[in-house]
Amino acid sequence: MLRLQSFSVGTAWFYCGTKCLKMIGLKQYEQCNIMWLYFCRHQVLRIVAKDVTQLPLIKDLEQFTELDFWTYVNNVENPVDIRVPAHSLQYVKRYLETHGIGYSVMIEDLMVHSYNILELKHALIDGKQNSSLSVVQIYSFQDQLVAENPNLVSKIVIGQSYQGRDLNVLKFSTGGSNRPAIWIDTGIHSREWITQASSTWFAKKIVTDYGRDPALTAVLNQMDIFLEIVANPDGFVYTHTNNRMWRKTRKPNTGSSCVGVDPNRNWDAGFGGAGASSSPCNESYRGPSVHSEPEVKAIVDFVKSHGNLKAFISIHSYSQMLLYPYGYTYTPAKDKAALDSLAKTAVADLRSLYGTSYRYGSIIDTIYQASGGSIDWTYNQGIKYSFAFELRDTGRYGFNLPANQILPTAQETWLALLTIFSHVNNNPY
């Protein structure tokens, strides 16, 4: 059995603080705060099972809450990426080597890696990488977009987060009431910064291209688009102030010192089944009950009250995939053939711009079994075109995608989205 040792922090903090100061210079010493120092000497290991007998051995590592699984154990085709704290590296590597499990170091030092790509905190709000990608900035951007485009864009507040932040949704509409509609959300896992950055670009793209792009214009003349850029604002703020790699919500858990719930394991779709954890300290903690998180409940209530959503698209990172139901059961979705065909076309259109290759398929067959997911719930609610994107990349940068990849990621993803929009508009049900 692997045992992870405790860590004496004195010498390590001195080493890491000195390294941080050397990296950024004395004039910016205040940036060497607890958030960045925390990740000093953390490594991201890519683990590859050679056969199915090694999968349970890798999965055994999930019991250690200090290990952060960026991707999960599923099959021998998919590598597993794990963030390992400095004090656990020796033991994790020894465990893998003892069992003959292959691994490589994807990120040598997460503190250095994170600082080097800190430009990702800049969103493409005005077409340039010079605006802070924070909740305040995004909310300001939303208000400005509405003010400048009152005949096309409005803002609705569908609820509040646990910490009291508005859950803002942009509505793009050319008129009419309760028209068929498309939903898009980004940032439900707060550390997936490329999703919120891309989403601001999508919003700007919609207002810029309406009336100019025939495909988008045809969609908006018949349908509404709802866009929630920051689906987990409390977690998103926390990634900027305390822990860049925070994934969950920020609601305290009764009887535990561990905070938060995985908001994509909290839905009433196979809730509590395989692929979700019952431990509040686990990154995939399902929560105490279905829709326990206000961020999830707000979307659930909106979907039910609207009653005419025809597509539901949740955007995540990373892995470069386009996924459809199911994740919690091996039973194929009744619309599997249609969803698979549309996914195939969408990823081909995405690839046409920069050659970025995406895999596609059902969640359970393509990545792993996961219960309590949003698109499984929406599909069961009758929303046929329920999809989840996993944006760039495939692991070189992971959640720390460089700023120079924001624009191409947004541009290529938009092509896939527009393909889905047009198909949904042209194939009513």
What is the b/e burial string over 183-210, where b = at least 16 CB atoms within 10 angstroms of the residue's CB?
bbbbbbbbbbbbbbbbbbbbbbbbbebb
Own/partner contacts of 254-257, CB < 8 Å, gap of 24 or more, are 254/288, 255/280, 256/280, 256/281
Q: Which of 62, 192, 390, 412 is catalytic?
A: 390
Nearest to 191 by CA among 288, 23, 68: 68
Nearest to 169 by CA among 99, 233, 243, 95: 233
Q: Which residues, 6 or more positions from 320, have their beta carbon under 8 angstroms from its beta carbon?
A: 356, 357, 358, 359, 390, 391, 392, 393, 394
Q: Which residues, 6 or more positions from 195, have their beta carbon under 8 angstroms from its beta carbon?
A: 186, 187, 315, 316, 317, 391
Structure token digits, residue 187: 């940032």
d(CA 319, CA 63): 23
Other CB atoms within 10 A of residue 11 CB: 8
390 is known as an active-site residue: yes
Q: Cα–chain-centroid distance for residue 113?
A: 19
For residue 58, the surrounding DSSP H or E stretch is: helix 55-59
CB 55 within 8 A of CB 217: no
d(CA 422, CA 228): 20
Length of the chain equals 429
Catalytic residue IDs:
390
